[in-house]
Amino acid sequence: MSQIGKFALVTGASRGIGRAIALRLAANGAVVAVHYGHDDEAAAKTVAEIGAAGGQAFAIRSELSTPAGIDALFAELTKSLPDGRLDILVNNAGGGGGNGSIEQLTPAAVDSLFAVNVAAPLFISQRAIPLLRDGGRIVNISSCAPRVAAPSQVAYAMSKGAIDVLTKTLAVQLGPRGITVNAVAAGATETEGMAGFLDGNPQVRASISAMTALGRVGQPADIADVVAFLASEDARWITGNVVDVSGGTAISPAIGAQ
């Protein structure tokens, strides 16, 4: 699954799943643009780790919840593209804010959630399409949330359902150029954002693990390895798919019923 000579943009790549994706693509030979929103130290650490392993990466800071932030991202990105072309786009940046039952949701919280989880991937893809080489790759990070009905996750699940629709639509639009577009539906994954739920709380960890067929919480590398495959030539005949990478979360009524 070599990505030698490829140029990749990974959004939200300073921490968690995005960081693991950046590390894996760089290990495969890609030059990686590590986008991040605010954590300078984490972004620098990701770039340094890639460099220490013999890879190539650089960081781009921008806030994706505004059009100006997306403009800033691409202004900086295009300065660094070797010939103005991009090979791989990974729309990873997103948030879980705005969660709660429908009675608890507020317009401001939902607007903020959708700005990052829906509008940003849409308009980043819009800006990236003219830069993508024929035969390029787009991988969107979705969730298994749209597959199940969880009242406390209604807004988040809706936002990820929109990503699934975007994925299929772009796959049809970009297919004639040989560009594949797929999504990875992640389950609960052990990232910095999940630390508060998992660390020091064995009951929560056990409950989440019991919801999966494989009996554990996901790791960022579990997601990154599948993204790297979808971004490779090996996945040339896969497009328009939402690939479940959740360890078999909630696929049986018996799972989680103990």
Where in the sequence numbering do the catalytic residues fall?
Answer: 156
Backbone dihedral angles phi then psi of residue 22, each to the nearest 5 degrees: -60, -45
Q: CA dist 199 to 97, 191, 194, 195, 196, Å?
A: 20, 11, 8, 5, 6
SS3 134: strand
* 81 and 131 Cβ atoms separated by less than 8 Å: yes
Alpha carbons 220 and 237: distance in angstroms, whole number: 25
- Measuring CA to CA, which residue among 195, 197, 188 is closest to residue 246? 188
Beta strands at 31-36 and 242-245: parallel, antiparallel or unpaired: unpaired
Distance CA 19, CA 11 (A): 9
- C-alpha distances out from residue 145 to 98, 153, 167, Å: 14, 8, 16
CA–CA gap between residue 165 and residue 147 (Å, rounded): 13
